[in-house]
Amino acid sequence: MAADENDNVMKDYSNYSLKDYNTFGIEARCSRFIEFEDFEEAVLAAAILRDSSSPYIIIGGGSNLLLTKDFEGIVVRSGIKGYHFEADCRMVCGSGEVWDDIVARSIGAGYYGMENLSLIPGDVGASAVQNIGAYGVEAKDVIDSVEAVRIATGEMVTFGCDDCGYGYRDSRFKHEWRNQYLITKVTYRLSATFIPHLDYGNIRSELDKKGIVSPSAQQLRDTIIEIRNAKLPDPKVMGNAGSFFMNPIVDRRKYELLASEYEGMPHYDIDADHVKIPAGWMIDQCGWKGQSLGRAGVHDKQALVLVNRGGATGAEIVALCETIRKDVKEKFDIDIHPEVNII
């Protein structure tokens, strides 16, 4: 079925370009592309996936996606928009809403908890899948529940936050629930009281430069946006997926051995036995910041970000990724893993 953009029917296209649906700007196509815009269309999309013999993948805004080739199957995504507030400071959002728009709207309405997650690219649905996080806060800290359509049956199901098995950039949606649900709504549990989280990264130092001791929620959001903009390239100008690698968590004994060799090695305490080491710092120590391998490169302001310098293929970016991983392993004996979903 071919749909016209102005038809009041579910978007369903054949041989469709995915260039606008991945922030690396990789040119790749899929055999069929479906976008549902309400619950009924999600049920219809689930039936199409259930009845088809073709493989399928579920995507969001493409900010955590690296395409290495054309996809000979169905790509499905949510276009569900809208949000509203309910009792007890809950914010119910369509899974196709842009994440950062929701952060801005929550602050504007006087509901807090998302400030540190400002300017993270992607859609609401992806926040529940990826457990996005930044500056000491993760999506799981504010997620109340996730509504979805079970593809196998077409029924609506609702998961509480504890059901989703959230971990560092992880959830059951990425493992045993992978490709089993079409997320339609996410409800966030916010607060009418603003409690700033300032003790991560360089938040406090940037506020100090402005002479701000006790920031408002908007001031904290603005500062985090400024920090991120200073580090991360605009994907519309230079293709990228934000942070490409996850920060590894290592045994404290391992960290102490490395810290004795590398003075000033940055770290974040997880618990008494575990420490998180910034992958970007290790990549920088390996000499990769600002360097390139063909048309794929490492951003010159943040070594955690891999970029498309123009015309790079997904395979070229994967080759850079694997070379960096090898170098980090050789230098620090630590494995770093992509946060990006490679297809």
Q: How far is CA 290 from the centre of its chain?
A: 23
Residues 6+ apart with CB under 8 A from 84: 91, 92
Query: Which residue carries 């910041």 as its tokens?
Result: 289
Distance CA 312, CA 290 (A): 16
Distance CA 64, CA 161 (A): 22
Distance CA 126, CA 326 (A): 29
Q: Which of these is catalytic: 169, 171, 221, 325? A: 169
The verdict on whether 95 is a catalytic residue reads: no
Phi and psi angles of residue 94, each rounded to the nearest 5 degrees, phi first: -65, 145
Query: Which residue carries 């040119």 as its tokens?
Result: 27
Q: Degrees (nearest 5) of the Cα angle 147, 151, 156?
A: 35
Tokens of residue 276, six digits: 């998180």
Query: Which residue carries 């073709």 as its tokens?
Result: 54
Distance CA 171, CA 294 (A): 34
Please report how many Cα atoms fall inside a 13 Å half-sphere around the Cα of residue 287, on the Cβ side.
Answer: 5
Q: Which of these is catalytic: 95, 243, 316, 325? A: 243
The verdict on whether 339 is a catalytic residue reads: yes
Q: For residue 282, what is the enclosing H or E element?
A: helix 279-285
The verdict on whether 191 is a catalytic residue reads: no
Q: How many other β-carbons are positioned within 10 Å of the β-carbon of residue 141?
A: 18
Query: Which residue carries 């997650």 as its tokens?
Result: 117
Distance CA 9, CA 6 (A): 9
Please list the active-site residues.
Answer: 169, 243, 339
